């Protein structure tokens, strides 16, 4: 059987779960951590390869399920206080899973046949990345592209906020930005930035035109879209707002924009 009772926190096999801060996770790109029973299940359903599981001993049904379906994968079990000491946070949803990171997607293959793409420019907050992935998956976006300085969608917090949709939503990391705009245009995409500029048009106006292929660039809430990016895109769009309110959180803005610009 693969069920292993945690006897000591010094067990080297527990290394994937020790001190799960973002700083610690940033040191490795070979694996990712899925948090909560729902997210672990979605990672498994996507075909991600499990390395091990860590489960609160009170969740007997989850333990039996994982052990039955993945009998060759080590399944570590222990009391909540021990797991909290190991990971550095409270496992309020009962389970963690360590998985091998999948191979990066090929950009050209991802864009082939796509109609709607969202690009994250320097979106560094993991919660925002996770929220945007959840909206993209729910609203039929064909691919999410990330600039080199955007946060990792496979960080534990981003995965959790996305409710595991990062496993089903196609995405790729761009090698350079804004050079990546050229690749989008090569595939026939109109590229627009969600940004308040003097010549920005209402997002509903772009939606009415319904381009065959459209890529929407989202930037940081503070600095906004880079000037060099604005110089390379086909135009800027904005969400009409009540006077006195200039912007929304990027996660909220993404949900509105992606709904408005969905392929029809």
The per-residue pLDDT for range 216-231, each reduced to its tens digit, is 999 987 788 999 999 9
Please give the structure tokens belonging to residue 116: 């709607």
What pLDDT, on a 0 to 100 scale, did the predictor assign at position 243? 74
**Residue of 35, 97, 107 lying closest to 66 (CA atoms):** 97
What pLDDT, on a 0 to 100 scale, did the predictor assign at position 23? 54
CATH code given to domain 3-100: 3.30.1330.30
Name the segment(s) of the chain with CATH classification 3.40.1280.10: 107-260
What pLDDT, on a 0 to 100 scale, did the predictor assign at position 25? 55
- At 63-122, the pLDDT tens digits run 999 999 999 999 999 999 999 999 888 877 789 999 999 989 999 999 999 999 999 999
Phi, psi of 141 (to 5 degrees): -75, 135
Name the segment(s) of the chain with CATH classification 3.30.1330.30: 3-100
CATH classification of 107-260 is 3.40.449.10, yes or no?
no
Q: Are strands 201-202 and 235-238 parallel, antiparallel or unpaired?
A: parallel
- Between CA 116 and CA 216 the distance in angstroms is 8
Confidence of residue 44 (pLDDT cuts 50, 70, 90): very high
Does residue 22 register a pLDDT over 70?
A: no
What pLDDT, on a 0 to 100 scale, did the predictor assign at position 8? 83
Q: Once rounded to an integer, what is the mean pLDDT over residues 49-64?
A: 95
CB proximity list for 213: less than 8 A, separation 6 or greater: 114, 115, 116, 187, 188, 189, 190
DSSP 146: E
Q: Once rounded to an integer, what is the mean pLDDT over residues 11-21?
A: 83
The secondary element (H helix, E strand) that includes residue 214 is: strand 214-218
């Amino acid at each position: 059987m693969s069920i292993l009772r945690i006897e000591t926190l010094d067990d080297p096999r527990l290394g994937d779960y020790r001190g799960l801060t973002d700083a610690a996770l940033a040191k490795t790109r070979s694996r990712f951590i899925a948090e909560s029973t729902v997210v672990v299940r979605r990672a498994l359903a996507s075909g991600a390869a499990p390395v091990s599981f860590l489960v609160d001993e009170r969740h007997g049904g989850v333990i039996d399920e994982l052990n039955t379906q993945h009998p060759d994968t080590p399944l570590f079990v222990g009391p909540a206080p021990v797991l909290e000491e190991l990971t550095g946070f409270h496992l309020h949803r009962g389970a963690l899973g360590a998985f091998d990171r999948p191979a990066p997607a090929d950009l050209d293959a991802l864009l082939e046949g796509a109609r709607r793409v969202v690009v994250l420019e320097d979106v560094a907050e993991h919660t925002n990345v996770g929220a945007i992935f959840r909206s993209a998956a729910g609203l039929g976006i064909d691919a999410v592209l990330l600039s080199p300085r955007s946060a990792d969608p496979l960080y534990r917090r981003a995965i959790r906020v996305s409710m595991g949709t990062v496993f089903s939503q196609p995405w790729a990391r761009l090698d350079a930005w804004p050079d990546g705009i050229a690749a989008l245009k090569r595939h026939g995409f109109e590229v627009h930035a969600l940004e308040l500029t003097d010549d920005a048009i209402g997002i509903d106006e772009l939606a009415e035109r319904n381009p065959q292929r459209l890529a929407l660039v989202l930037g940081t809430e503070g600095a906004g879209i880079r000037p060099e990016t604005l110089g390379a895109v086909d135009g800027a769009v904005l969400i009409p707002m009540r006077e006195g309110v200039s912007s929304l959180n990027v996660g909220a803005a993404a949900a509105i924009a992606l709904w408005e610009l969905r392929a029809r």
